[in-house]
Amino acid sequence: MRAAIMATQIKAAPKVGMVSLGCPKALVDSERILTKLRADGYGLSPDYAGADVVLVNTCGFLDSAKEESLEAIGEAIAENGRVIVTGCMGNEADVIRARFPDVLAITGAHQYEDVVSAVHAAAPPARGAFVDLVPEGGLKLTPRHYSYLKISEGCNHSCAFCIIPSLRGKLVSRRIDAVLREAEKLVSAGTKELLVISQDTSAYGVDTRHESREWKGRDVRAHMTDLARELGGLRTSEGVAPWVRLHYVYPYPHVDDVIPLMAEGFLTPYLDIPFQHAAPNVLKAMKRPANEAKVLERIRNWRNIAPDIAIRSSFVVGFPGETEADFEYLLEWLDEAQLDRVGAFRFEPVEGAQANALPNPVPEEVKEERFQRIMAKTAAISAAKLAAKVGRTLPVIIDEIGEPDEDGSIGATGRSQADAPEIDGHVYLRDVAATVKEGDIVSVAIEDADEHDLFGVIAG
């Protein structure tokens, strides 16, 4: 007698599409949402046509970003029709519904449970042991070799040009053991570079009075310096320390304490500090600390301790009340500071920001002229600093391997320790061996440079 053959029928899993806009913090939110949905049995669609529902994670920081978010929502509705909106612009649900009344649901920033519940309602999950699977470390929207590590939500500052506190609330720090556990899993799953992000990394743990938690048999504080040291102690499966890069660092006094960790190899010698301006009058109007002279002294001390430290920052030009003298002060400050990487932005009014009510707005043509001048200044500084690296051998992480050309030569694109992904420069490599893989960290002899990038070959 033949045994009966039992067939297990698996219900097709609904698929979710995702459009993720805005900063790396929003990208981390998208990863968490997708990881939870994948754990619930959902598949992922790379296009609108294959998705049962589309999530649009919006940005609401600037009016231009809001318009980009609205355009993305409109495209998703036109191409798919079943759209759920989340993210920072979720706080303006009335604006979204007025323009797109057919949106299925709208949730605010980092409201993970509400987003997942909305997806469940729109496209019920196919439950079962065969579909409730998630890759190690969760789902990622970045390459396997680098990962963003969010350590807190919200911000306690009240900068005149910013509405982040109203969008994301006051500072809420994650438990130090939870952060370290996530970092350990990411490194175990193949991450070679951890990018630490938040709205204010220097303030990590302030809201919890830097409470301690047990980690690996010892107490560790929720504090930036303790976190940096512990992250620097992680090792990949090959026994190599990952790069650990700090972003959104306000120059509080205790930032001085992390510089020796860079010199000792616990941290990548890189600081992303949002100075925003240097002129005391403008900083006061922005409601930012106005101790620019002391900052210059501290930068000199940092470079004495860790000579290879790269400092990146961003500046706003054309802030209400900014005079030509204020702007010239900023240019002179940049000459002295010699920052490695600089981004500049023309001031843009944001609905709800205090700066909108300030007197003496700067005309648009003046903003543009100042923007061009600061970009020329910082490009010249960058070109000189990169030219000084020609002839050196630097560690470089490989982001992309090119296809062989007609001669069989392979090129690659990577980044030095002075370059964060997406926002800084690149290192372009020639004659790369076929054995080199994305995520490898190699020693590169630097042969040439321009205003933003380096060029070289893997050292023999």
Q: DSSP 3-state assignment of 65?
A: helix
Whether 146-387 and 393-458 share one fold: the answer is no
User: Does domain 146-387 fall into CATH 3.80.30.20?
Assistant: yes
Beta strands (DSSP E) in 144-236 are 146-150, 152-153, 172-173, 193-197, 212-215, 218-221
Q: Considering the entire predicted model, what is its pTM?
A: 0.74
Per-residue tens of pLDDT for the chain, all 460 residues: 344 444 444 457 899 999 998 888 788 888 888 988 888 888 899 899 999 999 999 987 777 888 899 999 999 999 999 999 998 888 888 889 899 999 998 888 767 778 888 888 888 886 544 444 556 556 677 888 999 999 998 887 777 777 666 677 788 999 999 899 999 989 988 899 999 999 899 999 999 999 998 888 889 999 999 999 999 999 988 888 999 999 999 988 999 999 999 999 999 999 999 999 999 999 999 888 656 668 999 999 999 999 999 999 999 999 999 999 999 999 999 999 999 999 999 998 877 777 777 889 999 999 999 999 999 999 999 999 999 999 999 999 999 999 988 888 999 999 999 999 989 999 999 999 999 999 999 999 999 999 999 999 999 7
CA end-to-end distance (rounded Å), the chain? 69
Residue ranges per structural domain of the chain: 15-122, 146-387, 393-458
Q: Which residues are annotated as a binding site?
A: 23, 59, 88, 155, 159, 162
CB distance 48 to 17 below 8 Å: yes
15-122 — its CATH code? 3.40.50.12160
CB distance 313 to 273 below 8 Å: yes
- In CATH, which superfamily holds the domain spanning 393-458? Nucleic acid-binding proteins (2.40.50.140)
Q: Which residues are annotated as a binding site for [4Fe-4S] cluster?
A: 23, 59, 88, 155, 159, 162
Query: Taking Cα atoms as reference points, which of 274, 371, 257, 381 lies closest to residue 319?
Result: 371
